[in-house]
Amino acid sequence: MRAGVRRALAILAVVLPVAAGLVYLFRPQPVPVDLVTAAHGPMEVTVDDQGWTRVRDLYVVSAPVDGRIRRVDVRAGDAVTGGAGVVATIEPADPSFLDVRSRVRAEAEVAAAEAALALADAEVARAQAELGFARAELDRAAELARTRTASPRALDLATLDVATREAALATAEAERRVRHHQLTTARAALIDPAAAAARAAAGEAVCCLPVTAPVDGQVLRVLTESEGVVTAGTPIVEIGDTGDLEVVVPLLSTDAVRVAPGAPVRIVRWGGEEELAGRVRRVEPYGFTKVSALGVEEQRVNVIIDLTDPPGRRASLGHGFRVEVRIVVRASDDALMLPAGALFRDGDRWAVFAATGGRAELRHVTVGLVNERAAEIRDGLEAGTPVVLHPGDRVADGVPLVARTGG
């Protein structure tokens, strides 16, 4: 018996440590997790997108007439005064070149006009001669009437003839002036660019039309800088007041329907160190199609935002600058929040893993506001409860947990 007992004790002495070691090795290990705590605080749901600034009232100054514009001296950033600041000067355009047929025709018209003027001169000379004869006849008739040699009717006829001849002379002189102007017009058709340059070099005056700024402001962009021929309506410069800016954001139509006029806006990543404040003034009622960088057609709607900060805080902003905006569509001043990565779907309900007593506890929660960073918990969780962040496949209800420490 003693030998059997000793053999049993020896076996137990070997088996028990091995069994204890196996139990230790295969016991459930705590899952290392990152923990976050539900806490109260202000929460916002925003629509984020990119937009650009623009001057509220933009004026495009264009050429009022056809002509040759002189080189524009104003530059972008120059201040101008409405009604007095000259931004451009327009001269008459040079005449076009004449081909052989047009020149022969113009020369023939000049010759015809010269002949017509000579004919008009002859008509004036004849009318002057007839008027002189009629006046002499009137003098003789008047002398005979005084001596009662001629009848009063003869005197009246002589007077009528003088008046008729004076009217004929006036008609002939008017006709001569008409022919003179026709000759000037015909000669003008022979003026070509070379002749016009020669006349300008000789000091003949060239009329000009100054183009002035319509309002006080700054030159934003010079659209026509070099000298050249322009037509009426050609844009020359853009003028506006950079102290009166607004922001235009082309939102997706599915986001635009969530935005209401008066919604607060934060302007971020505009280049300054601090955010700028704004407010939605208008959501335009017309949508348009825009192709994204990936080639996808998107329906966009322009949202117009007023900047509410003083101009001094955004003095470096100008027309057409890119900005990023966050439009607040919903907000809560005191919401119980969790990072969005702590929530997951359990069937058709939201759930989290709370760390209770070192173990994971599955809890179903009611979610309110949700943004890209956090979610509002309205029911199912208390403030200060530690919750597993980004739970993996190893985390399940009742699994022991251990919080990760350090990096």
Q: What is the CATH classification number for the domain harbouring 233? A: 2.40.50.100
Could you give phi then psi for residue 5, rounded to 5 degrees? -65, -45
Rounded CA gap, 333 and 202, in Å? 81
Contact between 323 and 246 under an 8 Å Cβ cutoff? The reply is no
Do residues 51 and 67 both lie within one domain? no
Residues 292, 372 within the same domain: no
Interior/surface letters 80-104, b for 16+ CB within 10 angstroms, e for the rest: beeeebebbbbbebbeeebeeeeee
Domain that holds residue 176: 100-191
Query: What is the domain count for the chain?
Result: 4
Which DSSP helix (H) or strand (E) runs through 374? strand 374-379
CA nearest neighbour of 286 among 299, 305, 304, 301: 301
State the pLDDT at residue 19. Answer: 60
What integer pLDDT is reported at residue 28 of this predicted model?
Answer: 61
Is 86 within a domain?
yes
Residues 132 and 163 in one domain: yes
Q: Is residue 169 part of a domain?
A: yes
Paired strand residues for 265: 278, 327
Q: What is the CATH number of the domain that holds 378?
A: 2.40.420.20
Please, are residues 267 and 323 in contact by the beta-carbon 8 Å criterion?
Answer: yes
Q: What is the pLDDT of residues 46-57, one digit of tens each?
A: 999 999 999 999
State the pTM of this model. 0.66
Query: Are residue 324 and residue 362 in the same domain, yes or no?
Result: no
pLDDT for 156 equals 83
Q: Which amino acid is at 210?
A: P
pLDDT of residue 147: 79
Same domain (yes/no): 119, 130: yes
pLDDT of res. 339? 93
pLDDT of 30 reads 84
pLDDT at 246: 96
List average pLDDT for each run of 10 residues in the chain, which is 407 residues long. 66 65 60 91 94 95 92 93 89 80 88 92 92 87 79 83 90 93 87 63 66 92 93 94 94 95 94 92 95 91 95 88 95 92 93 92 93 91 92 89 75
Q: Final residue of a domain: which of 313, 330, 347?
A: 330
The sheet with strand 86-91 has its strands ordered as 209-212, 86-91, 67-69, 228-230
Please check whether residues 232 and 159 belong to one and the same domain. no
Residue where a domain terminates, one of 284, 306, 330: 330
pLDDT score at 5: 67
In whole angstroms, give the CA distance from residue 291 to residue 299.
Answer: 9
Distance CA 59, CA 84 (A): 15
- CATH number of the domain that 310 lies in? 2.40.30.170
Give the residues across from 252 on adjacent strands.
Answer: 300
